[in-house]
Amino acid sequence: MKQLLKQLSVPCSITGHNQKMAKLIRDLVLPFCDSVEIDDFGNVIGVKYGTTGKTVLLDAHMDEVGLQVKEIQEDGSLSFVTVGGIDPRILPCSEVIVHGKKELYGVIGAKPPHLLKDEDKKGELRIADMVIDVGMTHPDEMVRIGDAVSFYPVCRELGKDRISCKGLDNKCGVAIMLYVMQSLTNCPHTVVFSATTAEEMGCLGVAALMERQDVDLAIVTDVTFGMTPGEDEGLCFPLGSGAAICTGPCIHPNWFEKACKTAEQHGIPYMIEVEGRTTGTNTDVIQLSNTGVPSLLISVPLRYMHTMTEIVQFSDMEAAARLITLLVGGDLAC
C-alpha cells in the first residue's frame, strides 16, 4: 500500500482538474474489475460482478484542494484563487506546480521580515495580496487564466510507518479502496468501486454518480482529524489507533454495530467517531440517494489537513482496508 500511495500522490487532482489522476486510477483498478469507465463528470467507476444479486459501493473521493490562476500580472507574477478550503497562512513560501502548456515550478512570494511594517505584522493574510513567482517576465506564453496550480508533490516517509505529502485527503482513501478491490478475490457480491471528484466543493461528483447506481450498501473511506499538540482530544484521533468508524444520523446503526463487532472479532484496532449532524463527506449524499442507501463511513486519522504536508500512518490505512474487506466479503444481512 505504501508504493501505491506514493504513486497516487504525484498527479494533480485538484477539483475540476483531475483528468490525469482519473486515468491513473482507472489503470490501477482495471485488473480487479470486469468493467471500468470514467463518466462524464470525471468519476472513475469500476464494477466487479458477483452472483448474490446484492451490490456494494466502495467510494473514496480523489480530488484534492489547490489553487487556480486568476490573473497574469504585468511583472509576470500570477494572482490566484483557492480551490477548496485552504488557510491563507500556510501559503507564503510554498512550492507549487502551475499546470499550463507544460508544468512550471513556482513559489508563492513573501515579504522579507526586514521590510515588514507594523501593520503588515498585525494584519490578516489575504489571498488577494499573494502571487506566484514562476521566474518569467512573460509567462502568458506558457500559462493562461484558469490553469490549475497544485502544491509541489514531495512525498516523504516519517519514521517507519508514516508518510507526509500533499493530497493525502483523500488519496489515502483511494489507496485503501484499491487495496480492498485487489483483496476481494472470492467476493460473492457485485462490488462497485468509485473514485469520485468534487467532494471538496460539496460532494458534487458522488451526487452525479448516484443518479446511475442502485446499491444495497455503501462504504465510504475518507480522512478525519489526526491528533496534533494543543487540539481538543474530543475532536481528533491519535495516529496509530486504527480505523475510525463513524456513528451518527447519516450512518446506518446496524452496520455501525456490525463494523465494530467485526473489528473486535478479528483484532483490528479501531476508534469510534461521533458525528451528531452530517459527516462532511460523500456519505451525506449517498445515504439520501434513491429510496435511501444503508451507509458506513470508515476514516483514517490525518494530521495537518488541507496543507502540503499532510501525514497519515500506514497501520491505520491497513486496519481500514482489512475491516472493509471483511465487511464486503461477508453476509450483507444486517
Q: Which residues are catalytic?
A: 199
Give CA–CA dist 44/332, Å, rounded.
24
Residue type, 71: E
Residue where the block lists cell 489553487: 67
Q: Could you write out the DSSP letters of every residue in 72-89?
A: E-TTS-EEEEEES---GG
Residue where the block lists cell 487556480: 68
Q: Are 135 and 170 in contact (CB under 8 A)?
A: no
Q: Are 196 and 206 in contact (CB under 8 A)?
A: yes
Residue where the block lists cell 459501493: 57
Q: Are 16 and 28 in contact (CB under 8 A)?
A: no
From 78, 123, 121, select the one nearest 99 (Cα to Cα). Answer: 78
From 197, 201, 175, 5, select the one nearest 86 (Cα to Cα). Answer: 201
